[in-house]
Homo-oligomer: A and B are copies of this chain.
Amino acid sequence: MKELHKLLDRIVQRVNINLRELEFDVNPLVSKLIPAGQMTKFYAFYGITPHHSLNLVFKHSNLSGSYFLGKVRVTNSLLYKSDIRGDELKKNGDLFQYQDFNIPVDQDEEISIDDSFLIKTLVHNYSHDPETLETFFIRDTVSAHFANIHGSPTDGSFLGPFATVDLTTIRDCVIGAYSYVQAGEVSHLNIEPGTVWVRKPGDFNFMYRYPISQLSNYVYFAAGSPPQGVFMDFLEDRKEAFQRVFSVVNIETPLSVPPSASLDRFAVIKPKTKIGENVLVAQRAFLQNSVLGKGANAQENCYIINAKLQGNNVTAHGAKIIEADLGKNVFVGFNGFLRGRPGARITIGQDSVIMPHTIIDVRNPLTIPSGHLVWGLVQNPKDLQTNSMSLKDFSKINSRMCKGAMLFEGSGGSFVSGFQERIHHILEANGAFYDGKLKRGHAQRNQNISFNTIQPYPEGDKEGLYPTIIIQP
């Protein structure tokens, strides 16, 4: 176990050097967060299909979780039950559009994770940084529970629990718990917990901040103990259900899945769940007594419980939808927490957009009209009034607007159409529009994946570390 400890120390030291200007010490936050014994107990796994380019190299790392579809390289990292998903990596010859540039990609993109400690973090593929089109790196970074690193190089940063960095290059940053940053390249920033920040430089800027006292009820993180609050309790209560899917090598599908849909073998499916055509259910998704209409997708770490989704719904990474009815094309962003209750369901009209990191937590029925944008903390109709707007009205903003704790500057039209285009892209990439011949996406391509499980050294100095593993076509 000696080398595992050395590796952790080394990672913490490197991250601290990067964060020295912010005077931020990662050490008390991560030390004792995951007992080292835990890190040897789980196993890592990676998926193999003929559709994803294979070039996996792990060296002196600790890995668990992770399906690593597509190219990957990991060196001196600790990935504790994290998912690294490389199924949209750019290929040699692809064209990457950035502003007015059309940049040809000159080699297959690869994920590279160096000196990082990612704790139950989801890393998604596709570098949006025009400077590193061929490498998706997350060097010298510590990321806490259930954070998302999506489409972004990251460097020398610390991400708190349930934080998300999206389509963003962040360098030497501290991202607080449950903060969402989609802001282009940022450096040397310390983002307060509960910040939702969407910026397109020169075009628009959206900023919302959670009232910290209320956020603490949902997630609270301080040095010396794991994150606490409603989010952690919710996950903890459902942890056991995942044990079975991880304890068997091959698993039977518990329900019938249309030939155009795909259900990941590491998802948990509880009784009375129905899956429509073109549906994608990703790894570690949790579905219970719910209906997923045609083209809906349930992404990694999402929970859909006692809910009905009409179709073409995106339930993004880490989102939870409980006791709710969603119309067609409703989008629920990263780490959204939508908790209705029996007799107090949440109803969302079609085409509405629930922004990433939105909490809708009600004790009486709540209806969100169709075509609305919702953000922040919504516990009753009054909150909804403050924290939502019709997309149509939002599109009309062209300078600046304050509404509750939200500040918007710039073009509302750009903001709304940017969101809508992205939702369309996600549905398309996931195969929601597959017509039996064309528009094939992940739902059709991910149906048949081999999963390979690897375990670390069981004892000795290298306990908890994996040997060097190189996998090529």
Contacts and interface: CB of A to CB of B under 8 A. Distances in A.
Nearest to A462: B50
A249 B246 contact: yes
- Total copies of the chain: 2
B249 A453 contact: yes
Nearest to A49: B458
A472 B49 CA distance: 24
Interface in A446-472: 448-462, 467-472
A248 interface: yes
Contact of A457 (B48, B453, B454, B469): B48
A299 B196 CA distance: 61
Given A48-B457, A452-B452, 7 more contacts: A48-B455, A246-B249, A247-B249, A248-B249, A249-B249, A451-B455, A468-B470
Interface string A416-451: 000000000000000000000000000000001111
A246 B453 CA distance: 13
A74 interface: no
Nearest to A251: B247
28 contacts: A43-B249, A48-B457, A48-B458, A48-B467, A49-B457, A49-B458, A49-B459, A49-B460, A50-B457, A50-B459, A50-B461, A50-B462, A246-B249, A247-B248, A247-B249, A248-B249, A450-B456, A452-B452, A452-B453, A452-B455, A467-B472, A467-B473, A468-B471, A468-B472, A468-B473, A469-B469, A469-B470, A470-B472
A54 interface: yes
A250 B249 contact: no
Interface residues of A, number: 32
B448 A459 contact: yes
Interface string A245-258: 01111100000000
Contacts of A50: 457, 459-462
A467 B461 CA distance: 30
A450 B456 CA distance: 6
Interface of A: 43, 48-50, 54, 246-250, 448-462, 467-473
Chain B CB count within 10 A is highest, among A452, A456, A457, A459, for: A452
A344 to B, nearest CB: 40
Query: Sorted from nearest, which 10 A-B pairs have the closest CB atoms?
Result: A50-B460, A450-B455, A470-B470, A448-B458, A468-B472, A452-B454, A450-B458, A453-B453, A448-B459, A469-B471
Contacts of A249: 43, 246-249, 453
B453 A449 contact: no
A459 B449 CA distance: 9
Nearest to A455: B450
Contact of A458 (B248, B449, B457, B460): B449
Nearest to A454: B452
Nearest to A46: B454
Contacts of A456: 48, 450
A454 B452 CA distance: 4
Contacts of A448: 458-459
Contacts of A248: 247-249
A469 B50 CA distance: 16
Nearest to A45: B453
A237 to B, nearest CB: 23
A458 B246 CA distance: 19
Contacts of A473: 467-468
A448 to B, nearest CB: 4
A183 to B, nearest CB: 38
Nearest to A58: B471
A48 B453 CA distance: 13
Contacts of A467: 48, 54, 471-473
A440 to B, nearest CB: 14
A456 B246 CA distance: 19
A60 to B, nearest CB: 9
Chain B CB count within 10 A is highest, among A247, A467, A468, for: A467
A55 to B, nearest CB: 9
A64 B470 CA distance: 19
Nearest to A452: B454
Contacts of A472: 467-468, 470
